[in-house]
Structure 1
Amino acid sequence: MFIKENNKYLTKKQNMLSNFATEFVTELFLDDNVSTMNRLIVATANVVNENFENVTCVNDILLKEYNQISPLASGRFVKSLREGRHFYEKIVKKFTDDEYIENFKMRKATVQALIMFLKEYVKPSSSIVPFDKKVHVFLWLLTSNYSFKEAGEKFGLHKSSISYIFHEIANLLSEQRYQFINWPSLEEQHVTRVKVNSRYGFPNCVGFIDACRLKVGSKRKMKDKPEFILLQAVCDETLMFTDIHVGEIGNTRKGKVFKESQLAHELKNFLDLDNHILGDSDYKLRRNLLTPFTSDELLTNEEMKFNEIHWKAHSYINQAFEILRGKFMKLNHIDISKPESITTLIYAACVLHNFILLHEGSPVKEEAVSNDEGITIDTNVVTTALEKRQFLCNYINYIQNLQY
């Protein structure tokens, strides 16, 4: 009964639209008054929009309550809707663990854990799209090069709905970033110090900093010169991000982005003189941020040995970025126009990166710890960043010579 009554109503609306169209065309040729034509165009647009919304609204109710689609609704959208429901309900939900890893870059159990976690932060809404489907839509887009339109055809949703869902889940993830991305505790710093020193022979290192360039902007409206944004991150020896900062679009200088980040102001409070993070030569040498030796002249053998070990240890952050961009293909070209939405998406991807590591473990192979000794730096002797780097250079070479 409900379906018949609504079909009669929609038929009546379509007849009204047809009569209105006839009157519009008649007046279009008989009246040269510009203002009248403008009013007619606006009125026509309103009627068309109202008619479309009525059909859409009824179809939403029919799909939710009766799993049917009104006979008045037809064409490509309805076909896509039916195919999309079939794709998610009949195919995606039955993916094996290997298929989840292939399509979503994480295990099925990890996706289910993500859904359960995010559900706690979802605000009540009237959306007829199930939350678990929303999360799958978001992950499908994040891990592929699909456009909103292509994803809509895949999942049976209009591209505007896909866009809304994508940004909704991205916001949810971004809002939880402080739960997953935190500066390591003293105990966690100690673990990193021990493992890095044991593996590479670089003492007192508690993290690694670098920045990767991400292409941003509309693919359809790309300028001759593409725009980029920098993601600055610090990771530990498990490749977990412990600090992230997104610079402004167009600013591709690591040093400038670092200065604008909160870390630049807080690093001296996070670490004492003994401890440090490692950065490449694009960063300015600091007492708690050690960079390689650079010189216009030839480096000494000791300095080259320091740089070699520094480079090997610093490679942790490059591995983290490779995994991030390898899993989340959307980051290779973020086809979004609003700067704040770009930043939100990057934060969301970094949260997901850590979430996956927490649930699936680090890809870095565990090694037996052979050297758990750190060093204590005498602040009466070593006071500047240059003095500290030279002190560590001498110490590393001394230990290397003992081993050989």
Structure 2
Amino acid sequence: MADCSAICVATCVAMELMESSDDESNFLLESDRKDRHKTQDFFEWTVPRYFPDMFKKFFRISPQSFELVCQLLGANEQLAKRTYRGGRQEIPLEKKVMIVLRYLASQETILGISDRFNITVSTFTKYREKVVNAINDLLPRFVQWPEELDSVAIKFNEMGTYEFQNIIGAIDGSHIPIEQPLECPNSYYNRKKFHSVILQAVCKDDLSFVNICVGMPGRCHDAKAFKHSHLSEIGDELCRQGQYHILGDAAYALMRWLITPFRDNGNLTREQYNFNKFLSSKRQVIERAFALLKGRFRRLKYVSIRDIKCICKIISACCVLHNICLQSDEDIAEFIDAEIDELDANLGENFPVNADNGEGILKRNNLTIELNRVNS
């Protein structure tokens, strides 16, 4: 099946400014200060001495995943090794990738990363752009809608305590904090009083993303971000005309392929209350996926760049790497950030939602009867 992921990039593009510093403590910083090889030979001498757990803590991916990423990027024309024609030797691919991974994995400043790897800030900026672009080129391969929908639905049904058949994904939006853009700053200023862009994503039971849309301004409600995404146009086809469905919260309009909870105005029936409980237990997987994404790639906790296009590429690159790492069967427990829910909580309250679809209402009513029967 052709790739169905869409990256929605906002049109407000501005100059990239300096990166802000963070009080994050760098792993092994004290030992590095005592190491005479720290600046000149960090890549050549220090990193090879890291045990796998040290490497994983510093770069937020395992050595095995790092090798896979380098292998995947090795064929990219932007990163291909060129014939040496004299002058300064070209930086090895592994070092370029390592530099960018450290950037995505932390809130360390560009100046700090450049010093650590013994490169100039301009060299860092050049290779960040090339590596991020190369990772984005992998998006159609690693962020794509599943073809075997039956197997996905079975795994969703087996997940957790309750049965809920024919689920193939869960959808939500997450706010990525950014520096105030020079153009259209009010559009990116959300209700929690910080600037952000929205990452809308659909994930499977294994936390991998199957569809992403990046770049809608933080002021937008989830329902509006969804309406402007390609998924809103093709979702029914992807879910085979309602044979399968994805789960969303009450911010989304109810459709035969997008199932949402009953809005609780204080008069829910017992069956409706139970249905909401069943749905919530399955839909939590997308919140866990966002917590893993932001916990692993801590740059997403605050992207101090004013170029919206660059920000969107960085976010989507993190989503691609997120999926690659999951394919490598990494232990993810140490990366999941429990504080992420607080960042996105209630950003959509008091916003109007689109009208529920008649076919969606009928399907949810039938699901309510069936789920109360099988889970009783």
User: Which range, TM-score by smaller chain?
Assistant: 0.7 to 0.9
CA apart distance, 1:331:
0.5
Q: Greater helix percent: which structure?
A: 1
- Do structure 1's residue 255 and structure 2's residue 223 form an aligned pair? yes
Which residue among 306, 319, 322 is the counterpart of 1:350?
A: 319
Match of 2:43, SS state, is: helix
Change (3 A) 1:249 1:278: same
Is 1:335 aligned with 2:296? Answer: no
> What does residue 273 of structure 2 align with?
304
Q: Is the Cα contact below 8 Å between 2:180 and 2:195 reproduced in 1?
A: no
Counterpart mapping for 1:360-399 below 5 A:
360=329, 384-399=359-374
Give the drift of 1:176.
1.2
Residue correspondence of structure 1 range 14-163 to structure 2 within 5 A: 83-123=38-78, 124=80, 125=82, 128-163=90-125
1:290-329 correspondence runs (5 A): 290-329=259-298
AA at the equivalent of 1:201: E
> Residue 275 of structure 1 is aligned with which of 244, 249, 267?
244
The list of structure 1 runs, each at least 4 consecutive aligned residues, that deviate by more than 6 angstroms after superposition, is none
1:305 & 1:295 partners in 2: Cα distance?
A: 12
Q: CA deviation at 1:164?
A: 1.6
CA–CA distance in 2 between the matches of 1:286 and 1:363? Answer: 33
SS at match of 1:207: strand
Corresponding letter in the other structure for 1:166: R
Deviation at 1:84, TM superposition (A): 2.4
SS of the residue corresponding to residue 85 of structure 1 reads coil
Report 1:139-288 matches (<5 A). Answer: 139-185=101-147, 187=148, 189-199=149-159, 200-217=162-179, 225-271=193-239, 272-288=241-257
TM-score (norm 2): 0.75
**Hey, what does 2:12 align to over in structure 1?**
none
Which is greater in Rg?
1
- Percent of aligned positions that are identical: 28
User: CA offsets, 1:265-292, max 9 Å, x none?
Assistant: 0011111222100001111111100000
Q: Report the RMSD for the aligned CA atoms in angstroms.
A: 2.5
2:136 & 2:176 partners in 1: Cα distance?
A: 18
Label 1:102 to 1:363 Cα distance change in 2 as closer, same or farther (>3 A): closer
Contact 1:247 1:257 in 2 (8 A): no
Say which structure, 1 or 2, has more relative contact order (CA 8 Å, 6+ apart): 2
State the Cα distance separating 1:362 from its structure 2 match. 7.5
* CA distance in structure 2 between the aligned counterparts of 1:278 and 1:121, rounded to whole angstroms: 36
Paired AA for residue 228 in structure 1: S
Displacement of 1:295 after TM fit? 3.7
Which runs of no fewer than 5 residues in structure 2 stay unpaired? 1-35, 334-356
- CA distance in structure 2 between the aligned counterparts of 1:86 and 1:346, rounded to whole angstroms: 30
Shift of 1:297: 3.6
Residue-pair matches, total: 302
Query: Equivalents in 2 of 1:164, 1:337: separation in Å?
Result: 17
Q: Give the superposition deviation at 1:262.
A: 0.6
Tell me which residue corresponds to 1:74: none
Mapped to 2, the partners of 1:204 and 1:118 lie a distance apart of: 36
Opposite residue 384 of structure 1, the aligned amino acid is E
User: 1:277 aligns to what SS in structure 2?
Assistant: strand
Distance 2:180 2:63 in 1: 32
Q: 1:85 to 1:219 in 2, by over 3 A?
A: farther
**Where in structure 1 are there 5+ consecutive unaligned residues?**
1-80, 365-381
Counterpart amino acid of residue 244 in structure 2: N
